[in-house]
Amino acid sequence: MIPVGAGASVPAPMRARVSIAIAAVLAAIGLAACGGDDEGSSSQQATEPDAAGGCTEAEVPEPKRVEFDQPERVLERGEQATATVTTNCGLFAIDLDTRRSPRTANSFAFLAEEGFYDDTLIHRIAPGFVIQGGDPLGDGTGGPGYAVDEPPAGAASYLNGVVAMAKTSAEPPGRSGSQFFVVTAPADAGLPPEYAILGEISDGLDVVERIGELGDPATEEPLETVVIESVTIERG
């Protein structure tokens, strides 16, 4: 797990697409994090986007340090499960891949049911590439206090709507904490098979795309505050 204070973010957008060397991609990669002590979380009531199709105004949540031991078993391998992510820009749903990524999906569901993701930021928005959240510190360095290892298949592709877990380039393939990213690239993000795949957007891709337009292309900083208000898990 990376030390607290180290940055964490998805590889920079493939501005030159596949013509960019893999080494350059890996050098830009940093997608995950660590953790600290639990100060609790306070979920907010879900809000709907305004009539113009934008986001309701939201305050930046206070950073929180959270530390768990290894996650408890809350999902069985192959169990059908959906994570509904409520933000101040609308809702989107993730079909969790409990068959090919059982440990990754279980960890995410465990954290969701503990309220870990409530009142956290979408802290990175790279237009046309990814949006990234799941850091309780809100700066790309936070995590749950543990790591899960589940290397993806060598043929893994990060297509539009795929949700995967963030890690740094120094960490082994498939390692993850709590930070996740959603691919907003029009087709394939062009990433190497290094990131544990959590699942795929099954509903609300328009919300994801709306959020994906709210970042500065140069800095990948959000231009508006986007808050994950809650993540709920539905089974079956």
Per-residue pLDDT tens for 21-71?
A: 333 333 343 444 433 333 333 333 434 455 345 899 999 999 999 999 999
Residues of the chain with pLDDT under 50: 1-7, 13-48, 51-52
Query: What DSSP state is assigned to residue 51?
Result: T
The CA-to-CA distance between both ends of the chain, in Å, stands at 33
Six-digit token string for 96: 């969790």
Position 4 scores a pLDDT of 31
Q: Which residue has the tokens 């607290």?
A: 4
Alpha carbon 218 to chain centroid, angstroms: 20
Position 16 scores a pLDDT of 33
Structural domains of the chain sorted by starting position, each given as residue range(s) with its CATH number in brackets: 17-235 (2.40.100.10)
- 41, 198, 195: which is closest to 108 by C-alpha? 198
Interatomic CA distance for residues 41 and 227, integer angstroms: 13
Position 53 scores a pLDDT of 54
Interatomic CA distance for residues 55 and 90, integer angstroms: 7
In this prediction the pTM is: 0.81
Position 43 scores a pLDDT of 37
